[in-house]
Amino acid sequence: MNVVDRRLPRYFCDMHIHIGGTKSGKPVKITASRQMTLTRILEEASERKGMDVIGIIDAHAPEVQEELIGLLETGAAEEHRDGGVQYKQTLLILGCEVEIKEPGRGEAHFLCYLPNVGEMRLFTDWLSRRCKNVNLSSQRIGATLRELQERVAEGGGVLVPAHIFTPHKGLYGSCTDSLSEVAEPSTIPAVELGLSANTDMADRLTELHDKTFLTNSDAHSLAKIGREYQAMAMAERSFREWMRALRREAGRGVAVNYGLHPQLGKYHQTACQSCQSTLPADADGRCPQCGFKRVVRGVFDRIEQLADCPAGIHPPFRPPYVEQVPLEFIPGVGPRLRDKLYCAFGTEMNILHRVDREELAGVVGERIADLIVQAREGRLNVKAGGAGTYGRIVTGKA
């Protein structure tokens, strides 16, 4: 198995970011903030979040492409010779999220990444003949998963199953018990864990032991960019290098996964969607607490159901998983205080990883500085989320 080359530079990468709307105000991802335009996302990622590489997975939308072409024509952005688009300090990789529903199975979402604008425009043309509205995000398409794999490969791209364990349109959460039932596993080098699972949980499925694990934000607002990300060892920022890292070639690879504490995710525990009562794994039908007929099975319990390997067994290449608490989740750190931190220390990556406690305390006070350091060290208490509601940090006992 490939081991990450420690001599290679490491780049912070968040590869699942949604476009909320176009410059003209038309929606792309209906549930995302309209502030999530292409240019606003690039500015936030480069200037405030400190992301070296981002994946915008609504780059198939024609008006988004028009905005990108405008940036290229003015010289504000530049296509990289080996794929991707450079904007200031951030490389943009073009992606598209689509929904597949195989006969007799639930829906699942997949991320399709392509090397350049030309290939993405060809992919848009292919999609437009297979979905109702190619201008919108996460559209269900009239194709099988294997057909989608073949089309993405033809364009020099890669397909990655999205938030694989979530009950809402995750591969294992909604569609199948095994990847091989619906796809050709050998052409899928990586999977996205989702906000409610970590490496220890995912490696309980032995069919995932040859896959690179990605931890991405699935951001629907600017503040959520970088709530999950990874440090990737690559020779430079380019689509070609990123693909080599997914495949763990020549010392490239994920060096560290920075993911939410799984209990902060919206679907970690089985719960009632109405009263949020935590329920046993086999709960079904109506909630015994309030009678509401919507029990949502949690990621933890779904993995327990599928697991064929005890916890703690990992392939040799698996990197550390660092439980990350973004600034947005820390009690008392609202928008104004985040702006104050950004002004003092630059990017969120600096604040979460590099600035020492004394410097933080000088700007935001002792209490908030302590919370940021406790988050950095994994010492905060968490109340678990479920049934579509995020978990939260509690200052007393969880």
What string of H, E and C letters represents the secondary structure of the chain? CCCCCCCCCEEEEEEEECCCECCCCCECCCCCCCCCCHHHHHHHHHHHHCCCEEEECECCCHHHHHHHHHHHHHCCCEECCCCCEEECCEEEEEEEEEEEECCCCCEEEEEEEECCHHHHHHHHHHHHCCCCCCCCCCEECCCCHHHHHHHHHHCCCEEEECCCCCCCCCHHHHHCCCHHHCCCHHHCCEEECCCCCCHHHHCCCHHHCCCEEECCCCECCHHHCCCCEEEEECCCCCHHHHHHHHCCCCCCEEEEEEEECHHHCCCCECEECCCCCECCCCCCCCCCCCCCCCEECCHHHHHHHHCCCCCCCCCCCCCCEEEECCHHHCCCCCHHHHHHHHHHHCCHHHHHHCCCHHHHHHHHCHHHHHHHHHHHCCCCEEECCECCECCEEECCCC
CATH number of 10-263: 3.20.20.140
Mean pLDDT of 211-236: 96
Q: What is the CA radius of gyration of the chain?
A: 20
pLDDT band, residue 280 (cuts 50/70/90): low
Give the percent of the chain with pLDDT over 90. Answer: 76
Task: Characterize 85-117 residue by residue with b for buried, 16 or more Cβ atoms within 10 angstroms of its Cβ, and e for exposed.
Answer: bebeebbbbbbbbbbbbbeeeeebbbbbbbbbb
Rounded to whole angstroms, the Cα distance separating 374 from 324 reads 11
In this predicted structure, what is the pLDDT of residue 398? 42
397 has pLDDT over 60: no
pLDDT, tens digit (0-9, with 9 covering 90-100), for 287-316: 776 866 677 878 888 999 999 999 999 999
2 has pLDDT over 70: no
pLDDT, tens digit (0-9, with 9 covering 90-100), for 143-160: 999 999 999 999 999 999
pLDDT band, residue 381 (cuts 50/70/90): confident
39 has pLDDT over 60: yes
pLDDT, tens digit (0-9, with 9 covering 90-100), for 231-279: 999 999 999 999 999 999 999 999 999 998 888 888 888 777 777 667 6
Q: pTM score, two decimals?
A: 0.90
Domain ranges for the chain, please list them: 10-263
In this predicted structure, what is the pLDDT of residue 38? 98
